Amino acid sequence: MFLERFLGCKKICIQCHDNPDADALASGFALYYYFRRNGRDVELLYGGRNKITKPNLLLMVKELQIPIRYVTELPYCDLLITADCQYGAGNVTHFDAPAVAMVDHHQCGIMQNENSYIRSNLVSCSTVVWDLFRQVGIDANEDLKLSTALYYGLYSDSNQFEELFHPLDKDARDSLKKDEALLFQLMNTNLSLNELGIASRALNGQVYNEEYHFSVIETELCDPNILGIISDFVIQVEEVDTCVAFNRNPGGFKLSVRSCVPEVKANELAAALCEGIGNGGGHLRKAGGFIAAETFEKKYPDRKMINVMEERIKEYQDSYEIIYAEKYDMDTSDMKRYVKKPILVGYAKATDFLKEGTPILVRTLEGDVDLIVKEGLYLMIGIEGEVYPIDQKKFERSYREAEGVPEMDADYAPTIRDNIYGNIYQLVDCMKPCVATGKTVIYAKPLTKNVKVFTAWDKEKYYRGLVGDYIVVREDDAHDIYVVRGDIFLKTYEQV
């Protein structure tokens, strides 16, 4: 267990990044709490040029009794742990320390070793520490000040929960207890008059692209939460279909991405904007990202971020063909016929463990799905932990029960939350094995251009296929068109 490996240290210092934000304060505080709880001598501190002045952060420190101290020198210690940042990075004052550990969620700028715990796919360091607590069997809710701090850290780093996408981030949001009155106060102490000025200057300088209907907005150095406010504002403009607001902070660039058209998912656009230089994701309509300054400058030594953003938005849009399955006539002359291989997969009959009529939330790596339990509702669990509902009739036509244990390779094991009582089930605990009967024949071919497919049953959300993935159409239904990821296709289908 990561946290336990440092319990042998006598004196530990936890360092937040310079100009600490709510997430750095919360995650640093939680680490402090852990070592205090274990009887260690521990201090929480930060350095840099500026002391904390933002009203919400001052309020957070005071009300949650976060014992953080501003220092210009590192006190004596045998271990320094950086929170929400990486030792040696540009956004954290360098102190010589006898040993170093780090807990962070930013893109990895350094060599990782067993003393660093960096989860760059999570939106906040608060989530990282919340999960570390779970690993050592501590419920962060045992202390309301601690859990409120983590909740507010997560809230702040995810642009008010609007740019959450990893299921662990959602689990943290759903389970952390919070002091509601204090939280309300914190949320309404968010902006200073100076920041209002920054936002208005940024809006004046926005760049609109007429051909592609997007807007790019750069702001001066400011708190990243202003970005979300700006992008939410700009996306309401009639001509604007997608937009990205960004700013440069000492460590790198924060991005806030919006889309109001079904042809562009904001989370995908955010990922495309950050591809190879950072990390982006979020929801269909709202998303965010982070690009480390160092990585950007290495890749684009003489370019301005605003130009790279414009170029990447165009490239992203140009690289897809859009298919509306309902109206699309697929030419099957160059496609081959396939059936599903008899691979063991899992299924669960919802009424076996849930009462009929119960509203449930199915959480997978790919997102949340809301369902109501009814007779005949089956949940299929694929080889990568993907879950999709299927009705009994279709299930019985396409699958039969089998023996054995389905193999699964999932980064997040799918869960089901009972929305009435809040009980959480691990879906793998309820699943039974089955195999495809192989009676359904499809036509398929590998894609030579990226596509977005709007299926006949969901016109709001497209399925994305990249070059190398397979485009598929059912033999018995010419408008049932969808895409299957290349590696999954090869694993699960065979030619007939």
Residues that bind Mn ion (CB under 5 A): 23, 84, 125, 157
Q: Which residues contact 199 (CB under 8 A, 6 or more apart)?
A: 191, 219, 226, 229, 230
Here the tokens at position 60 are: 């957070």
Measured from the CB of residue 125, what is the shortest distance to Mn ion in angstroms? Answer: 5
Smallest separation, CB 331 to Mn ion (Å): 49
> Within 10 Å of residue 411's Cβ, how many Cβ atoms?
11
Task: Judge whether 458 and 428 are in contact, CB under 8 Å.
Answer: no
224 vs 382 by CB, closer to Mn ion: 224
| Closer residue to Mn ion (CB): 157 or 469 | 157
Shortest gap between Cβ of 254 and Mn ion (angstroms)?
10
Residue number with CB closer to Mn ion (106 or 265): 106
Measured from the Cβ of residue 419, the count of other Cβ atoms closer than 10 Å reads: 14
Measured from each CB, the residue nearest to Mn ion is 23
For residues 128 and 16, what is the distance between their CA atoms, to the nearest angstrom? 14
Tokens 């999954």 found at:
488
- Name which of 288 and 414 has its Cβ closer to Mn ion: 288
Q: Which is nearer to Mn ion, 156 or 231 (CB)?
A: 156
Nearby residues of 457 by Cβ (< 8 Å), 6 or more positions away: none
Select 23 or 469, whichever has its Cβ closest to Mn ion: 23
Whose Cβ is closer to Mn ion: residue 23's or residue 43's? Answer: 23
Smallest distance, Å, CB 40 to Mn ion? 24
Least Å from the CB of residue 102 to Mn ion: 13
- Shortest Å, Cβ 30 to Mn ion: 13
Q: How far is the CB of 313 from Mn ion (least distance, A)?
A: 25
Q: How far is the CB of 157 from Mn ion (least distance, A)?
A: 4
Handedness of CA 70, 74, 79, 83 (dihedral sign): positive
Of the candidates 158, 284, 296, the residue with the CA atom closest to the CA atom of residue 228: 158
Query: Shortest approach of Mn ion to residue 31 CB, angstroms?
Result: 13
Shortest spacing between CB 297 and Mn ion, in angstroms: 21
Cα 407 to Cα 428: distance, rounded to the nearest angstrom: 11
Q: Which of 298, 299, 219, 302 is nearest to 256 (CA)?
A: 219
104 and 128 Cβ atoms separated by less than 8 Å: yes
d(CA 227, CA 300): 23
Following CA atoms 184, 185, 187, 192 in sequence, which dihedral angle do they give, to the nearest 10 degrees?
160
Helical packing angle, 180-187 and 144-157, nearest 10°: 30
Rounded Cα distance, 354 and 307, in Å? 52
Smaller CB separation from Mn ion, 27 or 242: 27
Residue among 84 and 241 whose Cβ is closer to Mn ion: 84
281 Cβ contact list (under 8 Å, min separation 6): 121, 163, 165, 166, 267, 270, 271, 287, 288, 289
Asked if 118 contacts 112 with a C-beta cutoff of 8 angstroms, the reply is yes
Answer yes or no: are the C-beta atoms of 141 and 130 closer than 8 Å. Answer: no
Nearer to Mn ion, 215 or 279 (CB): 279
Element (H, E) at 373: none
Pick the closer one to Mn ion by CB: 125 or 234. 125
Q: How far is the CB of 495 from Mn ion (least distance, A)?
A: 48
